[in-house]
Amino acid sequence: MVNLNKNIILISGSLRKNSFNTKILKNFKTEICKFGYNCDIIDLNEYTLPFYNEDLEKVNLPKNLAALKQLFQNSTGLIVASPEYNGEISAVLKNTFDWLSRKLPGEVPKQSFSGLKAIAVTSSTGKNGGMRALERLKILLSRLGVKDEILSFSLANTSDEIFDKKNNILIEEQIFKIRNLVEYFITDIEIGQETTEQKILKVS
Ligand SMILES: Cc1cc2nc3c(=O)[nH]c(=O)nc-3n(C[C@H](O)[C@H](O)[C@H](O)COP(=O)(O)O)c2cc1C
């Protein structure tokens, strides 16, 4: 019987209180919870980090970095949502990932991201749904070391009207998309963990 890691981390690249990206993550969280997983949405307003600077890193590591690293390293899956700002992901998300990518003493390279199954999410008020930022985000996640086959979801023409008062998405087609994506995501995570366990048993 495999002892499954059931922690998924969700991170929003928008600092805005009424962020559409954060609201979409809440819909992912609802679906993930149905599988009995723990999933916290990281609000980067609560994990402020200075702009990455190698000089700072040499003197004192920001406290929030240790907390974030711990959350990443205790998780088996990662869902990242970003707004598209001028065709790119948000600066706060890129900065957070730059800090997380740093190998601290005692860590192996890419420790924060390796082994994580990931879903990249973008939404925008425009008609392309943040597709350019989505491509950037997938390239970045791959470079940082998440597992191959990064899943993706993007939502175009996002507005307040597509959410109810509890931030549930009202468009049925999108609800099904998120549900199917999460089912695939969780299945893949569990198959991955079972395969790893079997390999360990064979060797030992
Ligand atoms: C500085 C800035 C640049 C933006 N650039 C783009 C863009 O390139 N493409 C796009 O579709 N939307 C763009 N937008 C619109 C955002 O995608 C939209 O405001 C979105 O709702 C922000 O995400 P949030 O609701 O999660 O905060 C831009 C918004 C800002 C403030």
Domain assignment of residue 194, yes or no = yes
Average pLDDT over residues 155-183: 98
Q: How far apart are CA 142 and CA 17, in angstroms?
A: 29
pLDDT band at 173 (very low <50, low <70, confident <90, very high): very high
Average pLDDT over residues 158-172: 98
Q: What is this structure's pTM?
A: 0.95
Domain count across the chain:
1
Domain assignment of residue 15, yes or no = yes
As for ligand 1, residues whose beta carbon falls within 6 Å of it are 14, 16, 19-21, 83-87, 124-126, 128, 130
Domain assignment of residue 53, yes or no = yes
Domain assignment of residue 82, yes or no = yes
Domain assignment of residue 165, yes or no = yes
Range of the domain at 188: 7-203
Domain assignment of residue 2, yes or no = no
The residue nearest atom 2 of ligand 1, judged by CA position, is: 85
- Rounded to the nearest angstrom, the distance between the alpha carbon of 132 and the centre of ligand 1 is 12
CATH number of the domain at 68, please. 3.40.50.360
> What tens digit of pLDDT does each residue of 10-38 get?
999 999 999 999 999 999 999 999 999 99
Alpha-carbon distances of 122 from 43, 76, 126, 140, 177, rounded to whole Å: 16, 21, 11, 14, 14
Domain assignment of residue 174, yes or no = yes
- Rounded to the nearest angstrom, the distance between the alpha carbon of 81 and the centre of ligand 1 is 12
> pLDDT at position 194, please?
85
The closest of 119, 121, 196 to 155, measured between CA atoms, is 121
* Beta-strand pair 7-12/38-43: parallel
Domain assignment of residue 139, yes or no = yes
Q: 49 CB contacts (<8 Å, ≥6 apart)?
A: 62, 64, 65, 95, 96, 99
